[in-house]
């Protein structure tokens, strides 16, 4: 069963440590703009219509706060998301550990679900002189985790579309009918979460 005009809807969640460039990545993909200054994100949602492989899809992207604020809120993203972009910075070795942590959370929360659409993205590829994560390390992790990795630069626009489109392709294969009708990410209206 398809929605209006047969355009399927998919939801992707962008997760990673604070300051690795999640928002810059999403802005480059969604609006083809580069976000110059860092402004910590609480939560942003983007609703895009994407043309990929000759087919249109609606893609709802949730850009989340950094992992150091990893709370029950992120758990609800992981429960609802159809696909995930896990972001680390190529100039910040420690941010890879955060991705590993998030990956474990996804597998724990989704309870051994098979074939969850996930793409791992390294940002700031243009800052070659400051690079801490080697391509070899990335290749080893790609094999170990069994996930596609992309090295990107939101500033230069390198490989950003490829990473998101790859995720969209994986979500389409995993969920051919798109998001179940009536399921909608709801904005939390000033809700207070007591832990």
Q: In 10 A of CB 62, how many CB atoms?
A: 18
Higher pLDDT among residues 40 and 114, named by residue:
114
The helix/strand/coil state of 154 is coil
Tell me the mean pLDDT in the region 167-179.
95
Check: CB of residue 122 under 8 Å from CB of residue 85: no
What is the model's pLDDT at position 167?
Answer: 98
Q: So where are the chain's domains?
A: 7-167
Tell me the mean pLDDT in the region 68-76.
67
What is the model's pLDDT at position 191?
Answer: 39
The pLDDT of residue 100 is above 90: yes
Q: Write down the pTM of the prediction.
A: 0.88
The pLDDT of residue 136 is above 50: yes
The pLDDT of residue 41 is above 80: no
Average predicted confidence (pLDDT) for the chain: 87
Tell me the mean pLDDT in the region 186-191.
40
The pLDDT of residue 19 is above 70: yes
Structure tokens at 72: 């029950």
The pLDDT of residue 183 is above 90: no
CATH of the domain spanning 7-167? 3.40.50.300
What is the model's pLDDT at position 173?
Answer: 96
Q: Give the pLDDT band of residue 165 (cuts 50, 70, 90).
A: very high
Q: Considering the chain, what percentage of its residues have pLDDT values greater than 70?
A: 85
Structure tokens at 78: 């992981």
Q: Are strands 55-64 and 43-52 parallel, antiparallel or unpaired?
A: antiparallel
Q: Out of 13-22, 37-46, 62-71, 114-123, which region has the weakest mean confidence (pLDDT)?
A: 62-71
The pLDDT of residue 6 is above 90: no
The length of the chain, given as a count of residues: 195
| E-assigned strand segments in 28-72 | 43-52, 55-64
Among residues 138, 135, 139, 123, the alpha carbon closest in space to that of 91 is found at: 123
Structure tokens at 13: 């969640």
The pLDDT of residue 57 is above 80: yes
The pLDDT of residue 92 is above 80: yes
Per-residue pLDDT tens over the stretch 108-118: 999 888 899 99
Provide CB contacts within 8 A for 61, sequence distance 6+: 11, 12, 13, 14, 26, 29, 30, 45, 46, 48, 164
């Amino acid at each position: 069963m398809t929605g209006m005009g047969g355009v399927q809807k998919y939801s992707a969640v962008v997760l990673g440590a604070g300051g690795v460039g999640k928002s810059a990545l999403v802005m480059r993909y969604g609006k083809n703009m580069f976000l110059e200054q860092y402004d910590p994100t609480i939560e942003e949602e983007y609703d895009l219509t994407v043309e990929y492989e000759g087919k249109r899809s609606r893609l709802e992207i949730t850009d989340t706060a950094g992992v150091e604020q990893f709370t029950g809120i992120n758990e609800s993203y992981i429960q609802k998301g159809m696909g995930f972009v896990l972001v680390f910075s190529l100039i910040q070795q420690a941010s890879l550990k955060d991705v590993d942590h998030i990956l474990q959370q996804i597998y724990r929360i989704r309870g051994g679900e098979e074939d969850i659409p996930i793409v791992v993205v390294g940002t700031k590829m243009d800052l070659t002189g400051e690079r801490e994560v080697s391509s070899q390390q990335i290749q080893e992790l790609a094999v170990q985790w069994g996930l596609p990795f992309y090295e990107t630069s939101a500033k230069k626009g390198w490989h950003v579309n490829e990473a998101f489109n790859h995720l969209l392709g994986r979500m389409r294969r995993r969920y051919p009918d798109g998001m179940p009708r009536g399921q909608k990410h709801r904005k939390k209206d000033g809700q207070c979460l007591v832990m």
